[in-house]
Amino acid sequence: MSLFLVNRYLGEDGDEESPTKESHSQALLLKLQQKAKERQRKNLAEHTNKKTIKNKNKAGSQHLQKDKKRKLESDTEEPIDSKEEKERKERRQCRSDDCLCILVESTEGSEDVQEREEGTRQAGTADKSDPGFAVLGGFESEPVAKVRRVLPQWLAHPDVIQRDIKGHLVPVCNVAGLSSNLINKLHHNGIDHFFPVQAEVIPAILEAAQQGLLIGRGGYRPRDICVSAPTGSGKTLAFVIPVVQVLMQRVVCHVRALAVLPTKELAQQVYKVFSAYAEGTSLRVLVLAGQRSLSAEQASLSEYRAGVRRSQADIIVATPGRLVDHINKKSGLKLDQLRFLIIDEADRMIDSMHQAWLSQVVKATYGTGGGREASSIFSRSEAACATAASLSPPQMPLQKLLFSATLTQNPEKLQQLDLHQPRLFSSTHRQADATVPAAQKAERFDFPQGLSEFYVPCTLSRKPLLILHFILRMKLSPILCFTNSRQAAHRLSLLVKLFGDVQAAELSPAVRKNTLKDFQQGSIQLLISTDAAARGIDISGVKCVVNYDAPQYVRTYVHRVGRTARAGKSGLAFTFLLGVQEKNFLKMVMDAGSPGIQKQIVKSESLKGMEGRYERVLQELAERIRVHINALFY
Ligand SMILES: Nc1ncnc2c1ncn2[C@@H]1O[C@H](COP(=O)(O)OP(=O)(O)OP(=O)(O)O)[C@@H](O)[C@H]1O
Using the mean position of ligand 1's atoms as its centre, give its distance from the Cα of residue 388 in Å: 42
- Per-residue confidence (pLDDT) for residue 393, from 0 to 100: 60
Query: Rounded to an integer, what distance in angstroms lies between the CA atom of residue 580 and that of residue 599?
Result: 15
Using the mean position of ligand 1's atoms as its centre, give its distance from the Cα of residue 350 in Å: 23
- Per-residue confidence (pLDDT) for residue 69, from 0 to 100: 52
- Per-residue confidence (pLDDT) for residue 67, from 0 to 100: 54
Pairing of strands 423-426, 159-160: parallel
Using the mean position of ligand 1's atoms as its centre, give its distance from the Cα of residue 232 in Å: 5
- Per-residue confidence (pLDDT) for residue 168, from 0 to 100: 93
> Which DSSP category does 628 fall into?
H
Instruction: Decide: 325 and 294 in contact? Cβ < 8 Å.
Output: yes
> Residues 130-140: what's their mean pLDDT?
68
Q: What single letter denotes the amino acid at residue 43?
A: N
Please say if the pLDDT value at position 320 is more than 70: yes
Pocket test for ligand 1, best of 162, 169, 194, 235 (most atoms within 8 A of CB): 235
Q: Classify each residue of 184-206 as buried b or exposed e, where b means 16 or more C-beta atoms within 10 Å of its C-beta.
A: ebbeeeebebbbbbbbbbbbbbb
Residue 607's Cβ-count burial label (10 Å; 0-12, 13-18, 19+) is middle
Residue 275's Cβ-count burial label (10 Å; 0-12, 13-18, 19+) is middle
> Closest Cα to residue 335, out of 395, 221, 256, 398?
256
406 lines ligand 1 (CB under 6 A): no
- Per-residue confidence (pLDDT) for residue 532, from 0 to 100: 83
Query: Rounded to an integer, what distance in angstroms lies between the CA atom of residue 505 and that of residue 494?
Result: 9
Query: Rounded to an integer, what distance in angstroms lies between the CA atom of residue 39 and that of residue 27?
Result: 19
> Closest Cα to residue 196, out of 227, 230, 229, 162?
162
Q: What is the mean pLDDT of the chain?
A: 81
- Per-residue confidence (pLDDT) for residue 266, from 0 to 100: 94
Nearest protein Cα to ligand 1, atom 12: 567
- Per-residue confidence (pLDDT) for residue 10, from 0 to 100: 53
Q: Counting atoms of ligand 1 from 1, which one is nearest the CA of 567?
A: 12
- Per-residue confidence (pLDDT) for residue 60, from 0 to 100: 52
Instruction: Decide: 96 and 67 in contact? Cβ < 8 Å.
Output: no
- Per-residue confidence (pLDDT) for residue 260, from 0 to 100: 96
Q: What single letter denotes the amino acid at residue 108?
A: E
Please say if the pLDDT value at position 511 is more than 90: no
Using the mean position of ligand 1's atoms as its centre, give its distance from the Cα of residue 298 in Å: 31
Half-sphere exposure of 565 (CA within 13 A, CB side): 24
The pLDDT tens digits for 353-389 are 766 889 889 888 887 544 444 445 556 666 666 666 5
The pLDDT tens digits for 10-63 are 555 444 444 556 677 888 888 898 999 998 888 888 877 766 666 655 555 555
Please say if the pLDDT value at position 497 is more than 50: yes
Question: What confidence tier does 288 reach under pLDDT thresholds 50, 70, 90?
Answer: very high
Q: Counting atoms of ligand 1 from 1, which one is nearest the CA of 233?
A: 21
Pocket test for ligand 1, best of 237, 269, 426 (most atoms within 8 A of CB): 237
Using the mean position of ligand 1's atoms as its centre, give its distance from the Cα of residue 577 in Å: 30
Query: Rounded to an integer, what distance in angstroms lies between the CA atom of residue 347 and that of residue 352?
Result: 9
Please say if the pLDDT value at position 633 is more than 90: no
Please say if the pLDDT value at position 579 is more than 90: yes
Query: Rounded to an integer, what distance in angstroms lies between the CA atom of residue 348 and that of residue 428?
Result: 19
Using the mean position of ligand 1's atoms as its centre, give its distance from the Cα of residue 572 in Å: 18
**CA 342, 346, 352, 353 torsion: positive or negative?**
positive
Query: Rounded to an integer, what distance in angstroms lies between the CA atom of residue 621 and that of residue 454?
Result: 30
Output Rg (C-alpha) for the chain, integer angstroms: 43
Instruction: Tell me what percent of the chain is helix, strand and coil, each rounded to the nearest 5.
Output: 45, 10, 40
> Closest Cα to residue 527, out of 556, 486, 489?
489
449 lines ligand 1 (CB under 6 A): no
- Per-residue confidence (pLDDT) for residue 8, from 0 to 100: 57
Please say if the pLDDT value at position 516 is more than 80: yes
478 lines ligand 1 (CB under 6 A): no
233 lines ligand 1 (CB under 6 A): yes
* Higher pLDDT, residue 446 or 373: 446
235 lines ligand 1 (CB under 6 A): yes
Query: Rounded to an integer, what distance in angstroms lies between the CA atom of residue 452 and that of residue 456?
Result: 13
* Higher pLDDT, residue 365 or 2: 365
Q: Counting atoms of ligand 1 from 1, which one is nearest the CA of 195?
A: 1
Instruction: Decide: 482 and 531 in contact? Cβ < 8 Å.
Output: yes
Strand ranges (E), 409-559:
423-426, 451-457, 479-482, 504-506, 526-529, 544-547
Query: Rounded to an integer, what distance in angstroms lies between the CA atom of residue 20 and that of residue 408?
Result: 116
Please say if the pLDDT value at position 300 is more than 80: yes
Pairing of strands 170-171, 193-194: antiparallel
Using the mean position of ligand 1's atoms as its centre, give its distance from the Cα of residue 238 in Å: 9
* Higher pLDDT, residue 112 or 387: 387
All domains of the chain, ordered by start, with CATH? 154-367+394-426 (3.40.50.300), 451-631 (3.40.50.300)
> Residues 138-163: what's their mean pLDDT?
80
pTM value is 0.73
Say how far residue 140 (Cα) sits from the centre of its chain.
Answer: 37
Instruction: Decide: 361 and 552 in contact? Cβ < 8 Å.
Output: no
The pLDDT tens digits for 388-406 are 655 556 677 889 999 999 9
DSSP 220-247: SPPPPEEEE--TTS-HHHHHHHHHHHHH
- Per-residue confidence (pLDDT) for residue 157, from 0 to 100: 87
236 lines ligand 1 (CB under 6 A): yes
The pLDDT tens digits for 167-213 are 999 999 999 999 999 999 999 999 999 999 999 999 999 988 877 66
- Per-residue confidence (pLDDT) for residue 551, from 0 to 100: 96
Nearest protein Cα to ligand 1, atom 23: 232
> Closest Cα to residue 563, out of 586, 585, 535, 589?
535
Return the minimum-mean-pLDDT range out of 101-105, 227-231, 543-547: 101-105
> Which DSSP category does 510 fall into?
G
**Most confident stretch, 414-423, 482-491, 607-616:** 482-491
